[in-house]
Amino acid sequence: MSTEVPSIFRLSCKVQEYPWGTSGESARVAQYAAATPENNFKQDMKQPYAELWMGSAHPNGPSTALLPNGPKALHELILSAPQKIYGKALNRLTETARQKGQLPYLFKTLCAGKALPLQIHPDKKLAEQLHKENPEDLPDDNHKPEIGLALSEFWAFASFREMKVIRQSVERIEELKEALGDSAKQFLEGEESEDKLREAVRTVLQRGKDEQSKMGDLVKKLAKRCKEEGDKAIGGADVDKGLAEAFVMLNDDYEGDAGAFICAFFMNLYKLQPGECIYVPADGIHAWFRGDCIECMANSDNVLNSAFQEIDQDTLDTFNKAVLCPTDHSASKYFVKTEPFTRGGASNSTRYDTPFNEFDLIRTQLPAMREETHGGIQGPSVILVESGSGTLKAGDVTIEAKPGVVCLIIADVELKITASKEGMQTYRCFAE
């Protein structure tokens, strides 16, 4: 028998405390968590807060539905009325998601006070294999393509530079050439290839693990030069502005870690402004670096780290085999395309059209005392109030909106967003 489910309801969401998060008055995750009294959240100003998992039914960070008759675990509510909540999106769920009452995506607010570990998220086939072999460290069998949408200025390392650009860095930066050791000559000569790029990455990361002292000295030596000479130390006008500063910051975060060589000279540095968004495919290399973002991904918490923390050999080997190593992709390829979202007559909303099946995103920016109606979405959606205030209404339910309020809207209902005199901005993740 189907449970009575409101068209929209608030969520109590899980805060994740990781050492790379932000602390103090600027900790956006803490501010958002405090907006929901049922979270019983009290901020410790010295504690770094990293992520708020919004609308999650994943066991590592489950949300709670705040209903008129009392709180209920979100996955239990979904299992009690799957057709009503999922709508047509039910047909697109994995069998695991159906059985466990999960949404097809994970929706997060993320705050990076320093660099996250250099990482990839395994593709579906590899995730299934690793989860079967090691369910404790790889907690599910799903892939995890994702996006990062800037809420503040947001610095991120993601995807590899074109190989010709990486070669230029190796040729001109003596410390980087020395980090590659005997393989530098092979990397610089002959045709570009995925195998050459993969071997160069493997060499630097493996030497960083096996020869920590020597590699650490090279990182610190270059960081010192970057601090003194700025971008001139790594190529001057021919490099991304601020790259030397970023290398110094990486060394400040994780002194002497060889991952700094990979991030700064093998990968693209994105300095996103609020509203800009990039995507990372499964097996895509990345390390979010500084600032706040909306993060959305397929419903998984699997990760393979390779630097900026202690790394065991098996994980490093798997990372090196799995990481995507295209040699000719420019940084612009990974920006998420946007288009107006006009369903229901909306005129102040932008849709982020991701290349993934599991989710898309809508950003709504309402001026003071304006309202916007989103036509029904054929699947469940989760909305975050990012700034301002007003109301959210679906069916006969109206919810007071302020920064940090998170709600779930069931499938196939209109959503009316009304701003107060200070305006309002929201982010809505959905699947249909």
Q: What angle do CA 238, 244, 245 make, to 5 degrees?
A: 135
**Position 252 in a domain:** yes
* Length in residues, the chain: 432
- pTM of the prediction? 0.95
What amino acid occupies position 229? E
**Position 193 in a domain:** yes
Q: Burial of 136 by CB count in 10 Å (0-12 exposed, 13-18 middle, 19+ buried)? A: exposed
Q: Which two tokens stand for residue 271?
A: 């300095």
Beta bridge partners of 157: 269, 287
**Position 183 in a domain:** yes
**Position 316 in a domain:** yes
What amino acid occupies position 68? P
Residue among 381, 383, 386 at smallest CA distance from 105: 381
Query: What separation in angstroms does the CA of 187 have from each of 7, 88, 203, 382?
Result: 58, 50, 11, 46
Q: What pLDDT is attached to residue 236?
A: 65
Beta bridge partners of 361: 352, 429
Q: What pLDDT is attached to residue 253?
A: 98
Describe the crossing of helices 313-322 and 194-210 by its angle, rounded to 10 degrees. 160
> Measured between alpha carbons, how far is 76 from 256 in angstroms, rounded to an integer?
47
CB 52 within 8 A of CB 15: yes
> Which phi-psi region, left, alpha or beta, contains residue 123 (left: φ > 0; alpha: ψ -120 to 50)?
beta
What DSSP character marks residue 116? P
**Token match 């960083």: residue?**
208
**Token match 């460290």: residue?**
137
Domain residues for the domain of 188 are 155-334
> Measured between alpha carbons, how far is 417 from 401 in angstroms, rounded to an integer?
9
Q: Which two tokens stand for residue 87?
A: 């709508």
> Measured between alpha carbons, how far is 70 from 90 in angstroms, rounded to an integer?
26
**Position 62 in a domain:** no
CB 326 within 8 A of CB 194: yes
Beta strands 14-16 and 51-54 are antiparallel
**Position 211 in a domain:** yes
Q: Total domain count for the chain?
A: 1
**Position 403 in a domain:** no
**Position 200 in a domain:** yes
Residue among 331, 334, 315 at smallest CA distance from 323: 315
Contacts of 149 (CB under 8 A, 6+ apart): 275, 276, 277, 293, 294, 295, 296, 336, 352, 361, 363, 427
Using 50 as the pLDDT threshold, list the residues of the chain that sit under it: 1
CB 91 within 8 A of CB 83: no
Q: What pLDDT is attached to residue 13?
A: 97
> Each residue of 159-180: b (16+ CB within 10 Å) or e?
bbbbbebbbbbbebbebbbebb
Q: What pLDDT is attached to residue 239?
A: 67
**Token match 């093998």: residue?**
266
